[in-house]
Amino acid sequence: MDSRAIYAKIEEQLVLQLPFVAYRKANKDVLSAFLQESDTIYTANDYSNSGFVFAPFDQKKESFLIPADSSRYYNAVLLKDNYNDIAKEPHVNITSDINDKTKEHHKQLVINGVKSIKTGQFRKVVLSRKEEIKTGKPIDLLILFQRLIATYPNAFVYLWYHPKIGIWLGATPETLLSSDGKQFFTMALAGTQLYDPNTEANWENKEVEEQEMVTEFILKELSLISKDIRSSKAYTHRAGTLLHLRTDINGDLDLEKPGLQNVLNTLHPTPAVCGLPKQEAKKFILSNEGYDRKFYTGFLGELNITTGQKTESNLFVNLRCMEVEPEVVNVYVGGGITKDSDPEKEWEETVRKTETMKKVLF
CB atoms within 10 A of CB 57: 24
The string over 106-125, giving b where at least 16 C-beta atoms fall within 10 Å of a residue's C-beta and e elsewhere, is beebbebbbebbeeebbbbb
pLDDT at position 266 is: 87
pLDDT at position 255 is: 60
Q: Is 174 helix (H, G, I), strand (E, B) or coil?
A: coil
How do beta strands 235-239 and 229-231 pair?
unpaired
Q: Is 248 helix (H, G, I), strand (E, B) or coil?
A: strand
pLDDT at position 137 is: 84
Instruction: Find the CATH number of the domain harbouring 146.
Output: 3.60.120.10
299, 268 in Cβ contact below 8 A? yes
Number of domains in the chain: 1
pLDDT at position 209 is: 83
pLDDT at position 239 is: 75
pLDDT at position 296 is: 98
pLDDT at position 309 is: 81
Burial class of residue 166 in the structure, from the number of CB atoms within 10 Å of its CB (0-12 exposed, 13-18 middle, 19+ buried): middle
| Residue 138 DSSP code | -
pLDDT at position 242 is: 80
Convert the pLDDT of each residue in 97-112 to its tens digit.
677 889 999 999 999 9
Range of the domain at 43: 3-358
Count of residues in the chain: 362
Burial class of residue 29 in the structure, from the number of CB atoms within 10 Å of its CB (0-12 exposed, 13-18 middle, 19+ buried): middle
- C-alpha span between 20 and 52 (Å, rounded): 9
CB atoms within 10 A of CB 291: 11
Q: Provide CB contacts within 8 A for 26, sequence distance 6+.
A: 153, 154, 155, 156, 173
5, 76 in Cβ contact below 8 A? yes
124, 142 in Cβ contact below 8 A? no
pLDDT at position 98 is: 75
| Residue 268 DSSP code | S
68, 309 in Cβ contact below 8 A? no
pLDDT at position 94 is: 65
Taking the whole predicted model, whether its pTM rises above 0.85 is answered as: yes
190, 334 in Cβ contact below 8 A? no
| Residue 306 DSSP code | E
Q: Please give the mean pLDDT across all residues of the chain.
A: 89
CB atoms within 10 A of CB 325: 13
Phi first, then psi, for residue 29 (nearest 5°) are -120, 30
pLDDT at position 308 is: 79
pLDDT at position 224 is: 83
- C-alpha span between 241 and 168 (Å, rounded): 21
- C-alpha span between 58 and 286 (Å, rounded): 9
316, 270 in Cβ contact below 8 A? no
- Write out residues in the chain with pLDDT < 50, as ranges: 90
